[in-house]
A and B are shown apart, each in its own frame.
Chain A
């Protein structure tokens, strides 16, 4: 995109006039120069620390890493501390399930993702979350709501554009009406008048548009600082940044302020949720991954007009085995004498054939 010459020029605005660039592009370059210097440094530090985090195995501090003879391994130890034989068996088991197609593996890059996830967690715990708490402490609820509304209006071009890309004229009309209402009666977006008069807030982004046109999600990917995504989601995010092009026309500090406040404000809404999820989940990484993938799948289903989850999509989730076994279990509960160890091994051959259709995760 940028030649090296332009890269350096971007960092030396006094040379800008030497280049014959269009005004619009010049705006971009001027905006770019502010992040041109720190960008490689930040990325470099980030990747280096990612390698560092990988080398240091951060769960070392857990006290239960030594499993005493006869004591039950409570699963709180790191996977790395496992008896290698059992670890191997577990790998084989998981691999087998994946090969049988029962589990679509949405996360082939788990090692990398977990590292990125860990760093994002650190960034959140030491940066974003304290900021969000402070923000919530100093602002009244109504102001936070106004910020939410304002940001929703700022992002409306993205929603509108994607509605058009998905050939949904009704949505596009709704979006335009929403922009008009909120920008005028809503005092430049501070008050959500459109919702009051019954214009729905559509939920569209370029990732959904890609999904709408049948682009597969690709592997799960945790982006540094941006959190859970997939390949498609990443491309979608880049596409959406075109919808907020006007950010590059603002001075860079204004962009950072607007987006920063937006982020902190959003985070402040979910402080308790994050705490609870972290505390309660058994594997927060898996929890977050599954929640993200399922939520995206549902939203793309909605974008496709399948309103809710596809009928039959949960076939494998809700009926993983043949019926007779369930009935047998029922009778067993009435007379609890049967020894489950004697029961038939799980019959994988009878897996419902609709498995495949439910595999297209996002």
Chain B
């Protein structure tokens, strides 16, 4: 008697387990599908990393060749670099990351405006910096897959005045295309730094004030004569 009942119990529980397992599996499958692309680590990290590394390497090469081209005028050099950078950077994601949770507080128009202004701001300010990196060789030292399938490409400046400075690029794949979402110079992340600068303005004065402050910065005369164009694109 006891034996049969126990066997019965066992059988019941086995069936139940299967059922529960099946339910759980379908549940997780459904939940998982939404973020499968991002949360599953790649099977072959080394192969996974090739495309973003190549992108960074090619872009750097092109930028350096533009910088070293003596026939270009400062303005055209600037324009060419901007075109290269605009193709590689994902300004929208950068803006989102910079604003973090405050992104939600902006309405659609403000978001667009912010992305546009932030783009102008970055190209103006980092463009003028790039001009100093004339004779420079950059060596890519490796890449790493980050927890949610971003990729960080590590590089370092190999010669010149800034020899040894480490530059890391974080890339994210969006609809099949790799784009840079952050630049980390000697451990200092662009996104993190702007996030903390903007946080205070946002929480004290709101998004409108931030955007107008950004616009004001973009309209300020800059020491670099080659970027008068920047203010036009910003409006």
Contacts and interface: CB of A to CB of B under 8 A. Distances in A.
Interface of A: 72-76, 79, 82, 86-87, 90, 93-94, 103, 201, 269, 272-273, 275-276, 279-283, 286-287, 289-291, 294-299, 301, 308-309, 311-312, 314-315, 317-321, 323-324, 326-327, 329-330, 333, 336, 338-341, 343, 345-346
A292 to B, nearest CB: 9
Contacts of A327: 34
Given A295-B188, A297-B187, A315-B148, 16 more contacts: A72-B208, A73-B205, A73-B206, A82-B204, A90-B200, A94-B203, A283-B197, A287-B193, A291-B188, A298-B188, A308-B152, A308-B154, A309-B152, A309-B187, A339-B107, A340-B106
B3 interface: no
Contact of B144 (A94, A279, A299, A311): A311
Contacts of A275: 223
A351 B141 CA distance: 32
B186 interface: yes
B204 to A, nearest CB: 4
Contact of B198 (A282, A289, A301, A320): A282
Given A76-B213, A294-B193, A311 B200 contact: no
Contacts of B65: none
Nearest to A299: B187
Contacts of A72: 208-209, 212
B100 interface: yes
Contacts of A319: 148
A90 B204 contact: yes
A333 B39 CA distance: 23
A280 B213 CA distance: 11
A278 to B, nearest CB: 12
B189 interface: yes
Contacts of A315: 147-148
Contacts of A312: 146-147
Contacts of A286: 196-197, 200
Contacts of B216: 74, 76
10 contacts: A72-B212, A286-B200, A291-B193, A294-B192, A309-B184, A318-B146, A318-B181, A321-B101, A324-B35, A340-B108
Interface in B198-235: 198-201, 203-206, 208-210, 212-213, 216-217, 220, 223
Contacts of B188: 290-291, 294-295, 298
B197 A298 contact: no
A79 B205 CA distance: 9
Contacts of B148: 315, 318-319
A66 B39 CA distance: 50
Contacts of A282: 197-198, 201, 213, 217
B164 interface: yes
Contacts of A308: 144, 152, 154, 168
A309 B107 contact: no
Nearest to A275: B223
A327 B184 CA distance: 25
A52 B198 CA distance: 29
A309 B101 contact: no
B58 to A, nearest CB: 22
A42 B206 CA distance: 42
Interface stretch (B47-55, B71-79, B124-132): B124-132
Q: Is the interface of A mostly helix, strand, loop or mixed?
A: helix
Contacts of B34: 323-324, 327
A327 B34 CA distance: 9
A287 B197 contact: yes
A324 B100 CA distance: 15
Nearest to A280: B125
| B107, B181, B203, B220 interface centre (most CB from chain A within 10 Å) | B203
A72 B214 CA distance: 13
B179 interface: no
B187 A295 contact: yes
B47 to A, nearest CB: 18
Contacts of B208: 72
A211 B30 CA distance: 44
Contacts of B200: 90, 94, 283, 286
A281 B193 CA distance: 10
B187 A318 contact: no
Contacts of B97: 317-318, 320
Interface string B93-115: 00011001100101110010000
B187 A338 contact: no
A64 to B, nearest CB: 10
A283 B197 CA distance: 6
Contacts of A295: 186-188
Contact of A298 (B106, B175, B187): B187
Given A72-B209, A79-B204, A314 B189 contact: yes
B46 interface: no
Contact of A272 (B121, B132, B201, B212): B132
A86 B147 contact: no
Nearest to B172: A318
A290 B212 CA distance: 23
B38 interface: yes
Contact of B189 (A76, A294, A320, A330): A294
A330 B196 CA distance: 25
Contact of B146 (A290, A311, A346): A311
Nearest to A321: B101
